């Protein structure tokens, strides 16, 4: 099989290609909360937020890994303590829900709360009521993080939740569309490798960089 080619030079290029598929004229008539689902998605969210005259934000989350495999993510917990579980993997590895929820509680109390305190001075993401939310990422691998972010936005009372990402696996489309109001993407692939495979340049974005950008 011939490997898929690189589709984006960097995040800036990906952002503007994503803007091309977004209904910007319609969106500019509405008020949007533009939120990145990851550190890596933040530069893209920042560019799109500027086009929509919005202020970008980020939804903090952490992965929960299988007890004996630190590369296998089995759940995601967000800063609002919403948890989304990869049910098939949890069953396959015979992982108890007690483990998942105790781990998510620990991560929430010891990592996520600290991030929120430093980034927003303790202010939580709680202004979603009756708002249109656009969740953005640099790409989707398992889609677990994005699903957790969608769930969080819905539970925080969002009027609508849309997802925009430059690239994703074809298998993720139905999953995202099942709970999001709209899904926008530049490219979908049946045989997806990893997000960074499709970018020429994809430097690591750190918490410190995002905090500095916020000022």
CATH of the domain at 179: 3.40.50.2020
Which DSSP category does 197 fall into?
G
Provide the residue range defining the domain that includes 74.
62-120
Residue 5 lies in a domain: no
- 163 and 87 within one domain: no
Q: Which residues of the chain have pLDDT under 50?
A: 1-2
Angle of CA points 80, 203, 198, to nearest 5°:
95
Instruction: Give pLDDT, residue 4.
Output: 58
Instruction: Give pLDDT, residue 5.
Output: 78
- 80 and 41 within one domain: no
- 55 and 67 within one domain: no
Which DSSP category does 4 fall into?
P
- 206 and 132 within one domain: yes
Residues 6+ apart with CB under 8 A from 63: 73, 75, 76, 144, 145
- 67 and 51 within one domain: no
Angle of CA points 138, 59, 128, to nearest 5°:
120
Longest CA–CA separation in the chain, Å: 50
Instruction: Give pLDDT, residue 205.
Output: 95
| pTM of the predicted structure, to 2 decimals | 0.94
- 72 and 153 within one domain: no
């Amino acid at each position: 099989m011939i490997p898929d080619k690189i589709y984006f030079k960097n995040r800036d290029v990906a952002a503007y290609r994503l803007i091309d598929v977004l209904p910007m004229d319609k969106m500019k008539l509405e008020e949007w909360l533009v939120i990145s689902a990851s550190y890596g998605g933040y530069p893209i969210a920042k560019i799109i937020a500027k086009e929509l005259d919005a202020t970008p934000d980020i939804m903090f989350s952490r992965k929960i890994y299988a007890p004996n495999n630190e590369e296998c993510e089995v759940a995601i917990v967000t800063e609002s303590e919403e948890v989304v579980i990869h049910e098939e993997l949890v069953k396959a590895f015979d992982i108890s829900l007690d483990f998942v929820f105790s781990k998510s509680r620990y991560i929430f109390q010891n990592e996520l709360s600290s991030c929120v305190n430093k980034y927003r001075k303790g202010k939580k993401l709680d202004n979603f009521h009756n708002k249109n939310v656009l969740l953005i990422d640099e790409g989707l691998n398992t889609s677990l993080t994005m699903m957790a972010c969608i769930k969080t936005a819905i539970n925080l009372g969002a009027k609508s939740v849309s997802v925009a990402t430059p690239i994703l696996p074809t298998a993720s489309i139905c999953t995202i569309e099942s709970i999001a109001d709209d899904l926008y993407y530049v490219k979908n692939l049946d045989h997806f490798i990893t997000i960074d495979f499709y970018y020429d340049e994809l430097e690591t974005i750190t918490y410190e960089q995002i905090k500095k950008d916020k000022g």
